[in-house]
Structure 1
Amino acid sequence: MTLASKRLESKITESDTCPFDKVMCGKGIVFQLDSGYINSDHHLGINAPSKDQAYYRFVTTWTPLAAQTHTSNWIWPADEPVLGEPYKFYSFGPTLVEGVVKRHYTFSYGNYSSMYYPLPYYLNCRSYYPLDPLHDLTISFFHPIPQLLRTEADVSILALSKYTTYLQQVTDTWFSATTKTDSKTLKLEGSTSLYPPDVPVSFLGVTTQVQFCHSPEFKTNCNPLQGVYQLRKAMNSSAYTFNFAAFNERQIATAHLLWSCTTFSSFSNAIAALSGNVLNAWSYTWGSTSHISGGLPSNQWQIEAANLHNLTLAGIQRMLVEWASTPVLELQNGNTSTDYINPPEKKEDALCGTIKMRNASYSGTLIILINICLADTVHALSKRKSSSNIFNLEKSLGWIHAESLHLQRQLLEERGVGPWKRGHEAVPVTKEFGQEFRVEDGREKDRQFILDRTSQGESPEQGDGGFHGGVPRPKYGYVSIPVDAV
């Protein structure tokens, strides 16, 4: 049985090879993350013999975009988005809704409304999914300009609106804030120097590609790297770019399952749900709604890219768990979530019993059992081993006497409570069975209890487990005295 890997690592490559037209790649820095060939059995826990195993690869390529030539001046549109407010428009391709052009720009930024945005960052994403050869646009959210168009990869643009001011200069390309501004200019108290963003909105361009292989001979037994929806269409059509006929039924089912996990776990979905909350840069702000931030590393955009890439891979692992053990959620009117889930096909349903993941549900119980048994087990072994060795016996007693019950026993002895027995065991007890005693805890308001130093009763036996070194101690009692009488 194979359990899923705890983490899927990716290879990181930095280069100057722009995934788009060179004019779009800003400073020319390109950051690529490649998962390598993920084995469905060894990495994902989908247990199967080698002939039924599939290999999956996920590659993202990131670069800051040069947006100057695609940014408008401040203009006052007559009808949208808000009347009377100046806007900047960013045109990387028209915005689409179900394949129909909704707006002739990709993003917009309002000058006035930005002053009232309650959070330090707003992150938006537009994605394009090519479907060769017809370029079906019904599933895309924009159609890239020619300089950004890719026919063998999904294209996404991440627009970062910054509503924060930094306490140190930020040289990172995406979060750039390099011009010092006196705090008085921003009408803040004190004379601290601050750094507002260089531009209100900055952009990252991303390409996403996936690949499946049916054997470890990756050079000949894999489909080409291509967009997510291109791969889906190839799996459903024998007359497409790549023929999946060489995959057996179990491998096709695995590919369909991993494709579904990829689409649901995509970073674009995470951005749609969390917006700026998905950014690591948020942790540098002074609070969840603060517009003041500490300085950022010079490679912050690469940190964010790696986080979003890994978020997709972690989501794939999570989706596999939910596929194999779908949680049942109670909805209104007595319905449950399973009432709205289409049952999987037979070949995919057969995968459920093969997916093996580590389950943390039993870890707590295991830790408790180990905690209960470990001390006694170690004590028993050390006692057997060191019974003839006085030095080791002294160390063992030192270990026992450092336990909390013996520390309490020592405190009580100092206050005259005792005598005690079982000095060499983990749980000391008083020699007198059922002995009652009371120790002042500082919470009595109308009476206090003091020790009567007069010896009462018989002295304890000598040499009781080495507690008192064989020296007899008197037995103390308690006398209740009103506070006013003291």
Structure 2
Amino acid sequence: MWWESCEKIHCGFWVNLENNRAAQSTLTLPTQWGIILTAFLALFIRLAGSYLWGIICFVIHQSNASSENQDDTYHQIQVALRNTDTEASLGWKLFRVGAVHQGSRINAFGRTSWLIVLAMVHAAGIGTLGGLSSRFIAGSDAVLAVKGTCGWMGEVAESPTEQLSDELKDPKNFATFSGLVVMARYGYRRSASYARSCYAQTSDNSSNACQIYTQPTLPYNVSLSEPCPFNEKVCNGTAMTADMDGLRSDADLGINTLPESAVTLRQTWTCVPVDAQPYATQWGDADELHMNISTDGRWNEGVPRDEERICYKVGTDETEQTPFLFCLTKNALKYGDSAYDIKSATSFVNYNGSYAPIFNPVPELDIQDADVTLMGLVSRITYPEAIQDPWFTATNYSNRTNNAYDANGWIATHPRSFLGCRQRYQLCTVDRSYCSPYTGIYGIPHENDDLKDLNPTQRAVFQLMWKMIWFTQLNFQLIFIGRENLIANDYLWDGGTQFGLSAALPSNHWQAEVSNFFNVSLATLQRAAPAFAQPPRFDVGNPTADQDNNILRYIQEPQEAEMRRLCDSIKMRSKAHTSFSVLGLFLLIGIGLLIMLVNTILPPLAAYWQRRTGLGAYKRLEWVESGAFQLQRMAAEGRGVGPWRGKEDDVPTLGGSRGERFNLTGMSLSAQGGEAGAHGGYHAVSHGEEVEMGVLREETKDSVASTSKRGLLER
């Protein structure tokens, strides 16, 4: 259907608050209707241009008009100006005038060339304006999303006395949490795909796939030689920082509010390879390692106690009361089901929930005012040469490698190698009258009582922005798409562990992985606002008698009035739609109509002023008599056909009874067959005679010659 593309995009008038007040009103149409409107406007501009050309010709004609005797070139130019509708027609007529007089004593081309150039310039200008009209009125491809089942996925209420695993024993909680996890993983996979397509150095962010959010990409700065964010002794080289500062909720993320209600975001990640080998245990079973709980801190849950493993005491997991983290068994290392594996632990500022284990890092890795994520990488890959990258380090040569071809090569230096990241966030009002602490995600105040100094719209935008960056956490990204999102997968011989082989990695490959993590977080941030207004729709589970199986049934809609208003205030971009500036439309049409009105009333107004003042009477008469129909009348009178009425009008009419007929061409042919004399076939009115419908009437020659002019000049 012609309007079906308006199900998710608002078609019609809306207000884009990002623009200046004069240009805020916007009209969005499906592209096919936008093309029709653009074509109409181009034709309208061409029509208005023809009326403007008529005004120009009138002004030039009146400026040239003179009561003095003039040569034939003058009169031909005046007739051309009076009876030409288009620039091309005038140019051609004047060129012919110049060509006819070429070589004579009259410099006709010198008198007509500037008019020809003017006609060409006007035609080119109007043509260009018509062709570019869409640029003047089409503001952008920014569109307003139609509110769907607005809100966020429902979350399982966090209990201070129960862990999440206990809460999920309730079937209702399990179904709700399952919907949340599936939606989150779906969103991260989409964001990872967008990041690869639009953020990567080799990507083309001008492609249509990158034109769905308010900005194709979000800008940030990268520094590759930062000091270690942790204790120097745990850092394995210099750190890398990705810093995005001054990101606006309106211009960059599409939350359509007044500029003064916008909120800015700063997000900074500083990452560095970590030397965690001094914190590693020896290989041994649970008893040899003195592990007093069988669950092994969830890192090897269900593993028999007699199986050999290695753990890293880089902190404590208060959830399970154990210092044995990032444990890995020999069997898992050798026979794992993936080429790479990532385990992570995050220390949050002011976090007391149960969605993530409470990780307390060792003092060397502890930062009080930032979130800290520690990632442990397992590599089961054989490389053709030694890998010097500090995170993917592979410097052990082995001829007993576990790959499909039993190829000798280089394998991982350590069972796990580590990367640590410090994450800080800050939200501010656009005028910076209020700024949150520059800290971890949970260290940012975001409840109503914490934001009393903000107006209702600012508070709603602030809370929405906090929820959006909550979704971008590195912790979540690693949980949902960690190993499958590694850039190192692009170097593998296959998609899994069938070959167990990879091309060699660059020595700074870890920086590409960090950049990709950050890019995915930004793509997730871009996706968060549209997903708030229009959560993705797909089916999970089986429908029941009282509800369908759509995942949207788990959406919790906002309760606050201002937050609900934001559901209708999310902007996107769409190549299937065109947005026009209403101001541009009205100005273009208004100016065009004004030109048409001026063209219509200018000659009568000039004639009225000339009659009232007595000035320029000859100019008025020359404009009237050089009209095509008046010239025809005078030609007919010269052949004895008359009398005529309306000698001051644009179109004169023949007097006498209705239905009288005459043939000017026949008279010319008859004159050519007889004695045409010096006048070439024209019948000269004799002294004392007037021809009225072929009947001669006594009258003086002077009266015949002066009838027309006297009537026009004296009125």
Counterpart among 385, 392, 403 of residue 168 in structure 1 = 385
SS in 2 for 1:37: strand
Partner of 2:436: 223
The aligned amino acid for 2:384 is: L
Deviation of 1:138 (Å): 4.5
Q: Distance in 2 between matches of 1:75 and 1:361?
A: 62
* Identity score, percent: 25
Decide whether the 8 Å contact of 1:93 with 1:144 is kept in 2: yes
Instruction: Give the gaps of 5 or more residues in structure 1.
Output: 364-486
Decide whether the 8 Å contact of 1:125 with 1:271 is kept in 2: yes
- 1:344 equivalent in alignment to 2:561: no
Where in structure 2 are the equivalents of 1:117-266 lying within 5 Å? 117-131=336-350, 136=352, 138=354, 140-141=356-357, 142-181=359-398, 183=399, 185-186=400-401, 193-217=408-432, 221-231=434-444, 234-236=445-447, 244-266=451-473
SS in 1 for 2:425: strand
Q: Distance in 2 between matches of 1:187 and 1:317?
A: 42
Deviation of 1:294 (Å): 0.5
Q: 1:89-116: per-residue Cα shift (whole Å, max 9, x none)? A: 11111224xxx33432221011123221
Q: Distance in 2 between matches of 1:296 and 1:216?
A: 46
Deviation of 1:264 (Å): 2.2
Deviation of 1:124 (Å): 1.4
Q: Distance in 1 between matches of 2:576 and 2:330?
A: 50
Partner of 2:306: 84
Q: Distance in 2 between matches of 1:351 and 1:269?
A: 25
Deviation of 1:266 (Å): 2.2
The aligned amino acid for 1:91 is: K
Instruction: Give the gaps of 5 or more residues in structure 2.
Output: 1-15, 19-141, 143-213, 288-293, 297-302, 579-715
Figure out how many residues of one structure are paired with residues of the other and give that number: 346
Q: Distance in 2 between matches of 1:192 and 1:341?
A: 52
Partner of 2:535: 326
Decide whether the 8 Å contact of 1:129 with 1:140 is kept in 2: no
Decide whether the 8 Å contact of 2:314 with 2:323 is kept in 1: no
Decide whether the 8 Å contact of 1:130 with 1:136 is kept in 2: no
TM-score (norm 2): 0.46
- 1:103 equivalent in alignment to 2:325: no
Q: Distance in 2 between matches of 1:330 and 1:179?
A: 48
Decide whether the 8 Å contact of 1:125 with 1:158 is kept in 2: yes
**Highest RCO, 1 vs 2 (Cα 8 Å, sep ≥ 6):** 2
Q: Distance in 2 between matches of 1:151 and 1:190?
A: 49
Deviation of 1:259 (Å): 1.5
The aligned amino acid for 1:212 is: L
- 1:116 equivalent in alignment to 2:338: no
Q: Distance in 1 between matches of 2:344 and 2:401?
A: 30
The aligned amino acid for 1:256 is: Q
Decide whether the 8 Å contact of 1:128 with 1:140 is kept in 2: no
Deviation of 1:274 (Å): 2.3
The aligned amino acid for 2:381 is: T
- 1:308 equivalent in alignment to 2:517: yes
Partner of 1:384: none
Deviation of 1:361 (Å): 5.4
TM-score (norm 1): 0.66
Larger radius of gyration: 2
Q: 1:416-470: per-residue Cα shift (whole Å, max 9, x none)? A: xxxxxxxxxxxxxxxxxxxxxxxxxxxxxxxxxxxxxxxxxxxxxxxxxxxxxxx
Deviation of 1:191 (Å): 9.1
After superposition, the Cα gap between the structure-2 partners of 1:179 and 1:114, relative to the gap in structure 1 and judged at 3 Å, is closer
The aligned amino acid for 1:89 is: C
Decide whether the 8 Å contact of 2:316 with 2:360 is kept in 1: yes
SS in 2 for 1:271: helix
Decide whether the 8 Å contact of 1:130 with 1:137 is kept in 2: no
Decide whether the 8 Å contact of 1:67 with 1:203 is kept in 2: yes
Where in structure 2 are the equivalents of 1:33-72 lying within 5 Å? 33-72=242-281
Q: Distance in 1 between matches of 2:538 and 2:332?
A: 39
After superposition, the Cα gap between the structure-2 partners of 1:64 and 1:144, relative to the gap in structure 1 and judged at 3 Å, is same
Decide whether the 8 Å contact of 2:382 with 2:501 is kept in 1: yes
SS in 2 for 1:260: helix
Decide whether the 8 Å contact of 1:211 with 1:223 is kept in 2: yes
After superposition, the Cα gap between the structure-2 partners of 1:150 and 1:327, relative to the gap in structure 1 and judged at 3 Å, is same
The aligned amino acid for 1:173 is: P
Decide whether the 8 Å contact of 1:62 with 1:205 is kept in 2: yes
Decide whether the 8 Å contact of 1:330 with 1:337 is kept in 2: yes
Q: Distance in 1 between matches of 2:373 and 2:402?
A: 38
Q: Which has the higher helix share?
A: 2
Decide whether the 8 Å contact of 1:267 with 1:311 is kept in 2: no
